[in-house]
A and B are shown apart, each in its own frame.
Chain A
Amino acid sequence: MRFVVPILLLLLAVPVAGAHPAATPGVTPTQIVIGGTGPLTGDESAYEPVLSGAQAYFSYVNAHGGVYGRKIVYKIEDDQYDPTKTVPLTTKLVEQDGVFAVFNTVGTDQAIAIRQYLNSKQIPELFVGSGATSIGSAHAQYPWTIGLLPSFAGEGAVYGRLIAASQPAAKIAVLYENDDYGSELLAGLKRGLGAHAGQVVGTQSYVPTDLTVTSQVAQLQTTGANVFVIFALPTQAIQAFVAAARLGWKPAEYVTSVSIDPAVMTIVHANAGPAAGVGATSTAFLHDPTNPSQRKSPGVVLYRQIMAKYLPHEDWKAVAHLYGMMAAYAMVDSLKQAGRNPTRVSLLKAATHLHEANPFLLPGLTVSTSPTDYYPIGKTYLVRYQNGFWNVLGKPLKTS
Chain B
Amino acid sequence: MKRGLTLAAATAVALALAGVALAANTASISVTHTPMASSSSQATTIHVKIPQATDPIARIAIYVPNGYTANLSAAAGTTIGQVTASAFAHDTGLVLPLTGAVAADSVAAHASDAAACSPGPAAVWNLNLSVAGQSVTVPLYVSPTSGAETALGSYKLVICLPPPDVPAGTPGRAVFGVQVLDALFTVNGIFTTPSSPTTAGWQALYTPYNPGQGTVNALGTFEAQALVGVPATVKLKAVGVKHRTYKVTGTVTEGTTPGTGVAVTLYRGGKRIAGATTGAGGTFSFSGKLAKGTNAFQAKAAAPERTTACVSPLPATVAPAGCTGATLSSWKAVSATVKVKK
Contacts and interface: CB of A to CB of B under 8 A. Distances in A.
B97 interface: yes
Contacts of A239: 92-94
B93 A313 contact: no
B95 to A, nearest CB: 5
B133 A318 contact: yes
A270 B97 contact: yes
A238 interface: yes
Contacts of A46: 132-134
Contact of B94 (A267, A313, A321): A267
B236 to A, nearest CB: 39
B93 A211 contact: yes
A320 B133 contact: yes
Contacts of B91: 43, 211
B100 to A, nearest CB: 8
A353 to B, nearest CB: 32
Contacts of B96: 267, 270
B75 to A, nearest CB: 15
A239 B95 CA distance: 11
A264 interface: yes
A143 interface: no
A321 B134 CA distance: 11
Interface string B76-113: 00000000001000011111110011010000000000
A267 B97 CA distance: 6
A43 B176 CA distance: 7
A315 B93 contact: no
Nearest to B100: A315
Contacts of B92: 211-212, 235, 238-239
A261 B135 CA distance: 15
B281 to A, nearest CB: 42
Contacts of B86: 270
Nearest to A262: B132
Interface in A236-284: 238-239, 242, 261, 263-264, 266-267, 270-271
Contacts of A45: 134
A314 interface: yes
Nearest to A266: B97
B133 A315 contact: yes
Interface in A314-331: 314-315, 318, 320-321
Nearest to A53: B133
B94 A315 contact: no
Contacts of B128: 313
Contact of A313 (B95, B97, B131, B135): B135
B93 A261 contact: no
A234 interface: yes
Contact of A49 (B95, B100, B133): B133
Contacts of A184: none
B130 interface: yes
B101 A315 contact: no
Interface in B254-280: none
Given A238-B94, A270-B96, A314 B101 contact: no
Contacts of B133: 46, 48-49, 261, 263, 314-315, 318, 320-321
A314 B95 contact: no
A49 B131 CA distance: 12
A236 to B, nearest CB: 9
A179 to B, nearest CB: 19
A193 to B, nearest CB: 31
B131 A263 contact: yes
A216 to B, nearest CB: 14
A-B CB proximity, top 5 nearest: A318-B133, A263-B132, A49-B133, A315-B130, A270-B97
8 contacts: A43-B91, A46-B134, A49-B133, A239-B94, A270-B86, A315-B130, A315-B132, A318-B132
Given A263-B132, A271-B95, A315-B134, 4 more contacts: A46-B132, A48-B133, A49-B133, A261-B132
